[in-house]
Amino acid sequence: MKDFIEQQIITAVRKLLTGKVNELLGEMECPVPLIEFTDCRGKAVVSPDISFSSCEQSEKERIIRLDAYSMSITFTLPETPESELFCYAYSGAVGRAFYDDPTLGGVIDRAVITGKKYVQPKRANCGEGWELIVSLRLTIEAITE
């Protein structure tokens, strides 16, 4: 049975994060926790949350029959002296990976990063961590049957 396109997109994004992004992070001078999608969370790895939804299409996208989706990838990091640096490292690596592979290996037509948001703790040493939220817009040719 063929997977739904949404499942294919999420699988491709996870593969990009654990593949190319981890490769880019490994080339950095300072050690940055790698990305894994397991139940293990801690200082050695980070497991970003991926949220996915359909979004409003432009008139042009309706005419040429493109489906549009919104996706956000949220990295939550515990508060440490390096957390802010890690947010910038993840941001740069994710940006480079999507720039190098905007079609996610041919799964979609185009992925574009529409925003990056850095959220610092409201108060120092209160248990809240840093967050990086990367917003994406994905387009894919509508499937006709």
Alpha-carbon distance 102 to 121, whole Å? Answer: 32
Which of the residue ranges 54-63, 88-97, 103-112, 120-129 would you say has the lowest mean pLDDT?
54-63
- Is the predicted pLDDT of residue 1 greater than 50, yes or no? no
**Separation in Å, CA 143 to CA 25, 62, 67, 104:** 36, 13, 9, 18
The pLDDT of residue 137 is: 92
Alpha helices in 17-54 (DSSP H): 22-26
> Among 137, 134, 136, 139, which Cα is nearest to 48's?
134
pTM of the model: 0.87
Alpha-carbon distance 62 to 98, whole Å? Answer: 25
CB 21 within 8 A of CB 99: no
pLDDT tens per residue, range 25-73 = 999 888 899 999 877 655 678 989 999 877 777 776 667 777 888 999 9
The two three-digit tokens of residue 66, written as one number: 């493109």
At 87, is the pLDDT very low, low, confident or very high (cuts 50, 70, 90)?
very high
> What pairs with residue 76 in β-bridges?
131
The pLDDT of residue 61 is: 67
Range of the domain at 110: 5-141
Domains held by the chain: number? 1
CATH number for 14: 3.30.980
Half-sphere exposure of 135 (CA within 13 A, CB side): 9
- Is the predicted pLDDT of residue 19 greater than 70, yes or no? yes
Half-sphere exposure of 53 (CA within 13 A, CB side): 5
The two three-digit tokens of residue 124, written as one number: 């120092």
> What pairs with residue 6 in β-bridges?
none
Q: What mean pLDDT, rounded, does the chain reach?
A: 86
